[in-house]
Structure 1
Amino acid sequence: MASLLENRVYTDTDLFYSTNLENVDYSQFQVPWFYRAEFELENANGSHFRLKTNGITSRADLYLNGALIADKNVQAGAYGGLAYDITSEAKAGKNVLLVRVYPTDYNRDFGLGFVDWNPYPPDNGTGIWRDVEIKQTGPVALSSPRVTSALDGSVSIHVDVHNLEESGHQGEVVCTVSDPHGKSLGHPHAEFHLFSKAQQKLSLSLKVPRPEIWWPKQWGPQPLYTTSCALSTSSGLSDRTSITRFGIRTITSMLNAHNDTLFSINGHPFQVLGAGYTSDIFLRFDEAKVRAQLSYVLDMGLNTVRLEGKQEHPRFYEIADEMGVMVMAGWECCDKWEGWSYNDEGSGFKWTDPDYYIANISMRHEAEMMQHHPSMLTFLVGSDFWPDDRAVQIYVDALRAFNWDIPIIASASQRGFPALLGNGGMKMDGPYDWVPPNYWYADQLGAAFGFGSELGAGVGTPELSSLRKFLSPADQEDLWKQPNKGLYHMSTNVSSFYTREIYNAALFQRYGPPTSLADYLLKAQMMDYEATRAEYEAYASRWSAAERPATGLIYWMLNNAWPSLHWNLFDYYLHPAGSYFGTKVWSRIEHVAFDYTSHSIYLINRGLANKGASRTVDVELLSLDGQSLGKTTLNATTTPNSSKRLSPSVPGLSEIEDTALLKLVLKDDSHGKVLSRNVYWLSGKPDVLDWENSDWYYTPVTSYADYTSLFSKMARASLSVTTHGRKAVVLENKSKVPAVFVRLNLVDGRSGEDIVPVRWEDNYVTLWPGERIEIGVEYEGGYGGARVEVSGVNVEGRSVHLGGY
């Protein structure tokens, strides 16, 4: 499909609109497809040629100049990267490579499946999805370097040397290591002696003076060292590697007293706060989009992405290294990858002997590609289920063969574990559909304790500008007029997530039945905002809990493989909305949060600095008519990399009649600088969860909070909107009532199209009477002159000019 899209046989615009994907002729992908390439070679004396595959889904026959190089039983598995000696088939001048790929069946083949996340691509991902390479060497070949390091600057470079000839060879490998500024640090070297066709592992070591340590973005810089190696024999240069970048850092994991996994980076306990990343539905790689998505990860304050069965292109990991985003890689659930005899939930065919061969070549290829990247946090060799003993041994041996020096986790759930690896220390108890904010502060299922490997309230509603790109007018009307209808852009029609029924029941009850699509979307953004904020804040607040700390959270999910109505923190078109800014609001390195269950206030410090610094928290509860119901100031000192409970309760909560607004402002005492600003809407009637009737994907609610007064009783607020150059919007509430949930959208002044990617300092904000806020924005584009569209619960919609180039 990616090839057909590139050649304009299909277009994204058409395929993604409404149900148009169903119009593709699926029968064309039920037969083998051929890829053909012509290339030139210069055949110098003594040269050897190797053909290297890196990713073909899922089986292929390879031919060079008409000769079969490998058949579909050898070139198998989406990650089955192998190097084939093609010296005897290659010739000087023009050569022809032909690749015949066979149709992929997710239950039979080791592909890149999407489970129920979105419709399956018509071709099931069949084809060449990573580069195929031709490499020319002398008699001895050299592998890419792997690097291990320690915080004291000890660095070891590991390479494999392979004699490609019948006669013996000896020689030397010399590596060059440079610091992040390009200065050479030395040339470690090692000699080798190889018999006929033999292979040997070499390790070359040096000590880096005054090492610059690589950190996750929130904790420090990302200095990257480089190394490249050259191999020479008596006849001269035989092979050399390209430049490999690496970082000096250490990563460990342990099970705490509760059997929960706790990671540490550079000796500091590391709370994973991330989300599940997915590749494009057609496995296309767009570097600009990847950069934008990872920049959003950091902008939201997240530190990790999880790849469940969607290992990415090499460039992805390089970008993560540069940006300081941690990566949890691993195999996927539910299909062939988890075809274990004890898995009674998945649909994959059970493994037979040839499957273990594919497991081995897949793990070896991915291990070699990932090993040197400092952004790699762990590899999960299982997702919903743990691998059987034979597969586990294969996976572990393959990882260790490539000098894997970071944690290997058995699986992302607590269903079981292999003896070789032990308990994975992660829970997979849901939810995946909507739950109220107070769910996360409980002590059951997916609530904030332990390590939640995939969980979330199922939100991620795109705004109207995005919806119009992939929903027909009738589809859009269904969102609010047919709240229980199955929707093509939710999950698949056999999934528990084919409708928005659970979500809509809550929206209609909590915010009132929508009166229009615009009204529905405004209420949906409020639902999404409070859902993601509560989840992340609860886990961050419980990081230092004495009873059972919350050691990690992967929100389900970060992004979508195609335009979707749920499971995202920003939509397919990179437009951030309620779920994004609900996540972002808690992202400050120092933050203050409200516990929906105990009504406590928590002080959170996610950094490694400011130990013992004095902080002030201003707390105020406000009625919808602008009257103060309670007010106090709390004083505290902050502790790095920890959370602490400040107050047993917020004053005035008992005075709430229908809905009130709570504002928490965290300040640095020494400078008066605002470190965090956080506004909640609270009901006098709480959401009541029916824990006893919980399902694997949600917990029912027997009684809902009531926020209908936000839409039935709020007086209109007078909001002044001005701009400060091209990079800031100034909001001032000139009325005596709060201005609620003011949203800002940046568009091109000429086309009216959203400007994306865009990074607002804050958005979907609520202003107190008389309050003035300046909100910065970073963006590219706006060549027609950028404009800001302003709307909210009780403010008049308008747009203002921000400026252009």
Structure 2
Amino acid sequence: MKQLLAVGMTISALFLPGSGLAADVLMLRNGWALQSSASVSASGETISGEAFSPEGWHATSVPATLLAALVADGTYPDPYIGDNITKIPGYKPGLWLVMDEDSPFYPSWWYRIAFDAPGEWAGRRLTLHLDGINYRANVWLNGKRIADDQSTVGMFRRFAFDVTDGMRMGAKNVLAIEITGPGHVPKKNYRTKQIEATTGWDDHNPQPPDLNTGIWQDVYIRATGPIALRDPHATSKLEIPSLAKADLTLSVRAVNLTPAPVKAVVRAAVESIALEQTVELAAAESREIVFAPEQFPALRLEKPRVWWPNDLGPQELYTARWTVTAGDRESDAVETRFGIREATTYINEEGWRGYRVNGRNVLIRGGAWMTADMLLRFTRGRYDALVRYAREGHLNMLRSEGFSIRETKDFYDLCDEYGIMVTQQLFGRSIPDEPLAVACIEDTLLRIRNHPSLVHFLGHDETFPTKTLDESYRGLIQRLTPDRTYQPHSGAFDVDERFETGGTRTGSLLLWTYASPAQYYLSKETGAWGFAQSGGVGGIVAPMESIRRMLPGDALWPLWTKAASLHTVTQGGTYFGPVVVAVNDRYGKPDGIEAFVRKAEALNYECARGMFEAYARNKYSATGITTWKYDAAWPAVMTWQYVDWYLLATAGYYGAKKACEPLHIQYSYDDASVWVVNARNEGAKGLEAAACTYDLNGKAIGRQSATVEVGADGKTQAFMLDVPANVSETYFVHLTLNASDGSPISDNFYWLSTTRDVPGLLDTPFLRAKSVADYKALNGLSPVDVKTTLTFAGTRPEETAGVTIENTSDAPAFLMRLAIRPSADAHEIAPAYWEDNYITLLPRASRTLKVRFAVPEGFDPAKAAVTVSGWNTR
């Protein structure tokens, strides 16, 4: 690392984090000034001059969208609190595509920065990189325009400009970027949800008033020699099924930045493998340099380290590095990580798509991914928390939503490291400017193709691309990343259309609002059958702690106040009316927000667990689900969220985590059978599966067990649950699975009803179910006292705590949520990775759980506290 040039501007001779680039790199992150062109009369020539003074402009860092910058400096209130977003000029409810001319975000905005360029860069080739702007840009450097907004357009393209002749070495330079946002389109009623090559939020959350206008990825300058290296690519062909050999192919694009021919040596290296080629590039030539195993036998590996998805094996990663030397000096260098694995998809005999990795079938258990923040304020820490929650929850796939952004490198890096496969949707809908759409996708493929986590592409969301776009997508994938599969359509509403869409189905209004556990066992149309790219259990409530942070006290109750309804989906809180009906019918009408959240959490837990368990029992007639959806891009009282915006895991998350244990015991809601399901690569023998039935007082009224074995990636029915004839309307069943030596493997606590859950015939939320499970008796559980003991055994920066919780009463302690806090009255620590949560303890029972968390600043273990909130805890 060389000297600090200015606040936030550093020259690095290392590989640039986040891009895989190497050379001297000047990051332009801090020290920017921001202003609307409506408030500036000066030209770009003047603004990018050293004499111009940006007095009265907004200070910002980059990346930052307009709204993110203006919230950070206090111009506008935090849009995530209460109904503040509705008070920001330019806000409009619902989904919209046209920016109103009276919006403060309609005019173009200027980003300006002054910086010093190092004198030692004299004689080198200099390239300005814009890795992400939204939506159009005029770019000025030192009084000269170097790019215009007709060519510099599209949110998902990277731009690189030769600025060798325009930079002043060892002196002050000024860069000014004029950004015009999306939404400058004719005012009319568009019968689509996406018309420009930009992000869109569908109905997930409000549209930001600025439509995410601004600079959303890094701006930097690279100094190289005459030859630059770009688009590194490492691919492998793994021997199946032995996994004993793999062939590597390494390639990189060499670009001659000069007007004269250049002779150069390009070298490639992976660990102890070192290769080289001599090339001669014509003036301004760009050529792909390939190192193939046919010409370089060293690329034929014996006993390669193989990358596996989560829970199936380690996530082995390699690093490939390329350098180019012109004359006697290194001109440039790049590197990329990659993994050796074989990922394929197939269409089964029933027309459904399935997945295989390294030669074995994999049941997909995952969720649809919405980008991490509505204002595009990204940190590796937030990405890490969200992707790690998926790993800790035994999920194995995230489907990157087409209405969202094309994700950053941090997201894919973490999916590689945590073993979370990615299906990448290309766009939500067909973009009328088809060449621009294709250019965005080409650049996306070049950015993400080295990640072993990336396994499959979807064209568009619930629609087909145009013929031109579909053919272009197929051609790009075949040319740039042929080891991935593609389907044009995310999935049909009518399952009979799966043969045209690519072997998958989407959700339905019922599955997006409320679906009981029995829905996935008893419904052929919407149940656990085939592959679902969407669907789910409906609205998932945030923990009460999060709700209190996002809403003022007077907006908490009655349900769906203006602010609370805003913090759901764009249709408003009444969209989740079926959830409220289900809460009332199953658990009894709540009398306040705390009671509603408690009952909705019970509902979410049982539904999420039941859905994933149904897919596991039915594999491989059921090949998987990426449930709608995994995360929330802003704080939501209720939405489709397994992890909320505050990075707290919901009850739905812990229900899913329970269901997705690698070796798991589970109950079936259709026929009361008990199964042992194995997702591991090894079988297991001599397992003891047991079921104990309890009345509402926690008294044992029945027990049965069986010794079972289960094959690798197998499943076996242990027994049919025998429920005593005199059982109460609501009762408990505790399933346990132990190894042959008695050590525990899996336990699973159910609350069940003698009234069977039977969905309605038409699979619609507008018709009541034929029969609804009745759990209202849970409201009569006796209050209980619990005691907790907290011990620490971690090493900073991550702490591991052991929490022993004891039920000191003579009644069950039902569905308890544990939270760890820096002190008793502080916000709970998030993220926190509990091995289990929302637990139930029988009378006088105790349990010890582990929780891991990043240590907050100033954390003192002596002051830390565990709090317990439960159905009937005092």
The normalised TM-score by structure 1 is 0.88
> Match of 1:208, SS?
strand
Partner of 2:872: 794
Shift of 1:361: 1.7
Q: Does 1:672 align with 2:672?
A: no
1:121 alignment partner, one of 208, 212, 236: 208
The 1:570–1:11 alpha-carbon spacing in structure 2 relative to 1, beyond 3 Å, is farther
Shift of 1:530: 0.8
Return the alpha-carbon distance in structure 2 between the equivalents of residues 475 and 484 of structure 1.
7
Q: Does 1:64 align with 2:141?
A: yes
Return the alpha-carbon distance in structure 1 between the equivalents of residues 487 and 87 of structure 2.
41
The 1:9–1:496 alpha-carbon spacing in structure 2 relative to 1, beyond 3 Å, is closer
Partner of 1:446: 526
Shift of 1:751: 4.1
Percent of residue pairs bearing the same amino acid type = 27
Return the alpha-carbon distance in structure 2 between the equivalents of residues 483 and 437 of structure 1.
29
CA deviation map 1:45-89 (0-9, x unaligned): 764333333221122222233333332222222102233334444
Partner of 2:380: 287
Partner of 2:307: 214
- List aligned pairs for 1:142-181, cutoff 5 A: 142-151=229-238, 152-178=245-271
Return the alpha-carbon distance in structure 2 between the equivalents of residues 454 and 423 of structure 1.
14
- List aligned pairs for 1:691-770, cutoff 5 A: 691-692=761-762, 694=764, 700-712=768-780, 714-717=781-784, 719-724=786-791, 727-749=801-823, 751-770=825-844
Q: Does 1:53 align with 2:162?
A: no
The 1:375–1:794 alpha-carbon spacing in structure 2 relative to 1, beyond 3 Å, is same
CA deviation map 1:584-614 (0-9, x unaligned): 21232100111111211121111112x2422
Return the alpha-carbon distance in structure 1 between the equivalents of residues 78 and 671 of structure 2.
50
Shift of 1:789: 1.5
Aligned residues: 756
Do 1:175 and 1:187's aligned partners in 2 also have CA atoms closer than 8 Å?
yes
Q: Quick one: which amino acid aligns to residue 576 of structure 1? A: A
Q: Quick one: which amino acid aligns to residue 360 of structure 1? A: V
2:359 alignment partner, one of 256, 267, 277: 267
Shift of 1:659: 0.3
Q: Does 1:103 align with 2:181?
A: yes
Do 1:723 and 1:729's aligned partners in 2 also have CA atoms closer than 8 Å?
yes
Partner of 1:390: 468
Return the alpha-carbon distance in structure 1 between the equivalents of residues 342 and 172 of structure 2.
47
Return the alpha-carbon distance in structure 1 between the equivalents of residues 671 and 626 of structure 2.
24
> Match of 2:534, SS?
strand
Partner of 1:247: 339
Q: Does 1:681 align with 2:751?
A: yes
Partner of 1:324: 419
Do 2:263 and 2:280's aligned partners in 1 also have CA atoms closer than 8 Å?
yes
2:73 alignment partner, one of 9, 12, 18: 9
Return the alpha-carbon distance in structure 1 between the equivalents of residues 523 and 584 of structure 2.
27
Return the alpha-carbon distance in structure 2 between the equivalents of residues 404 and 238 of structure 1.
32
Do 2:587 and 2:775's aligned partners in 1 also have CA atoms closer than 8 Å?
yes
Q: Does 1:475 align with 2:563?
A: no
CA deviation map 1:212-249 (0-9, x unaligned): 1111231122222112111123x344632333111111
2:449 alignment partner, one of 371, 396, 399: 371
Return the alpha-carbon distance in structure 2 between the equivalents of residues 223 and 699 of structure 1.
50
Q: Does 1:542 align with 2:615?
A: no
> Match of 1:490, SS?
coil
Do 2:366 and 2:625's aligned partners in 1 also have CA atoms closer than 8 Å?
yes
Do 1:592 and 1:666's aligned partners in 2 also have CA atoms closer than 8 Å?
yes
Q: Quick one: which amino acid aligns to residue 299 of structure 1? A: E
- List aligned pairs for 1:561-572, cutoff 5 A: 561-565=633-637, 566-572=639-645
Q: Quick one: which amino acid aligns to residue 436 of structure 2? A: I
Return the alpha-carbon distance in structure 2 between the equivalents of residues 19 and 306 of structure 1.
30
The 1:116–1:379 alpha-carbon spacing in structure 2 relative to 1, beyond 3 Å, is same
- Which deviates the most, 103-112 or 432-441? 103-112
Q: Does 1:560 align with 2:560?
A: no
Shift of 1:256: 1.0
Return the alpha-carbon distance in structure 1 between the equivalents of residues 283 and 549 of structure 2.
61
Return the alpha-carbon distance in structure 1 between the equivalents of residues 685 and 162 of structure 2.
63
Do 1:410 and 1:424's aligned partners in 2 also have CA atoms closer than 8 Å?
yes
Return the alpha-carbon distance in structure 2 between the equivalents of residues 402 and 316 of structure 1.
21
Shift of 1:44: 6.0
Q: Quick one: which amino acid aligns to residue 773 of structure 2? A: A
CA deviation map 1:293-339 (0-9, x unaligned): 11211111111111113322212212222222222222342xxx435
- List aligned pairs for 1:519-598, cutoff 5 A: 519-544=595-620, 549-565=621-637, 566-598=639-671
Q: Does 1:503 align with 2:571?
A: no
Shift of 1:136: 2.9
> Match of 1:679, SS?
strand
The 1:63–1:289 alpha-carbon spacing in structure 2 relative to 1, beyond 3 Å, is same
Return the alpha-carbon distance in structure 2 between the equivalents of residues 156 and 641 of structure 1.
32
Shift of 1:277: 1.9
The 1:293–1:82 alpha-carbon spacing in structure 2 relative to 1, beyond 3 Å, is same
Partner of 2:728: 657
Shift of 1:682: 0.7
Aligned-CA RMSD value: 2.7
Return the alpha-carbon distance in structure 2 between the equivalents of residues 288 and 19 of structure 1.
27
Do 1:490 and 1:498's aligned partners in 2 also have CA atoms closer than 8 Å?
no
Q: Does 1:432 align with 2:533?
A: no
Do 1:367 and 1:402's aligned partners in 2 also have CA atoms closer than 8 Å?
yes
Return the alpha-carbon distance in structure 2 between the equivalents of residues 736 and 460 of structure 1.
32
Do 2:366 and 2:626's aligned partners in 1 also have CA atoms closer than 8 Å?
yes
Q: Quick one: which amino acid aligns to residue 326 of structure 1? A: M
Partner of 1:800: none
Partner of 2:847: 773
Return the alpha-carbon distance in structure 2 between the equivalents of residues 290 and 16 of structure 1.
19
1:599 alignment partner, one of 651, 664, 672: 672
- Structure 1 alignment gaps of length 5 or more: 179-184, 340-350, 797-805
The 1:618–1:44 alpha-carbon spacing in structure 2 relative to 1, beyond 3 Å, is closer
Return the alpha-carbon distance in structure 2 between the equivalents of residues 740 and 498 of structure 1.
29
- Structure 2 alignment gaps of length 5 or more: 1-63, 91-102, 184-192, 239-244, 293-298, 794-800
Q: Does 1:380 align with 2:458?
A: yes
Do 2:674 and 2:721's aligned partners in 1 also have CA atoms closer than 8 Å?
yes
The 1:718–1:87 alpha-carbon spacing in structure 2 relative to 1, beyond 3 Å, is closer
Q: Quick one: which amino acid aligns to residue 171 of structure 1? A: A
Partner of 2:285: 198
Do 2:665 and 2:737's aligned partners in 1 also have CA atoms closer than 8 Å?
yes
Partner of 2:32: none
The 1:484–1:631 alpha-carbon spacing in structure 2 relative to 1, beyond 3 Å, is farther
Return the alpha-carbon distance in structure 1 between the equivalents of residues 718 and 449 of structure 2.
42
Do 2:68 and 2:375's aligned partners in 1 also have CA atoms closer than 8 Å?
no
Shift of 1:107: 4.1
Return the alpha-carbon distance in structure 2 between the equivalents of residues 73 and 497 of structure 1.
41
Return the alpha-carbon distance in structure 1 between the equivalents of residues 561 and 285 of structure 2.
66
> Match of 2:608, SS?
helix
Q: Quick one: which amino acid aligns to residue 558 of structure 1? A: Y
Q: Quick one: which amino acid aligns to residue 461 of structure 1? A: V
1:24 alignment partner, one of 79, 88, 99: 88
> Match of 1:469, SS?
helix
Return the alpha-carbon distance in structure 1 between the equivalents of residues 721 and 561 of structure 2.
36
Partner of 2:589: 513
Shift of 1:718: 5.3
Return the alpha-carbon distance in structure 2 between the equivalents of residues 600 and 624 of structure 1.
22
The 1:498–1:77 alpha-carbon spacing in structure 2 relative to 1, beyond 3 Å, is farther
